[in-house]
Amino acid sequence: MLIGNSLYADKLERYFELFPSEQIKVLFFQDLAEDPAAFAKQAFDFLELPFVEEIDYGRKMSALSKSRFPLSGWASKQGANLLRKLGWVNMLGVLKSNRLVRGFFYKPYEQDEKPQISADTRRKLLEVFAPQIERVERLLGRDLSAWRRA
Band (pLDDT 50/70/90 cuts) for residue 110 is confident
Asked if residue 31 is part of any domain, the answer here is: no
Q: What is the pLDDT of residues 57-98, one digit of tens each?
A: 887 766 667 788 778 878 888 988 999 999 998 888 888 788
Asked if residue 38 is part of any domain, the answer here is: no
Asked if residue 50 is part of any domain, the answer here is: no
Q: Give the C-alpha separation, 69 to 78, whole Å.
A: 15
Asked if residue 44 is part of any domain, the answer here is: no
Domains contained in the chain, number: 1
| Structural domain harbouring 96 | 2-19+62-148
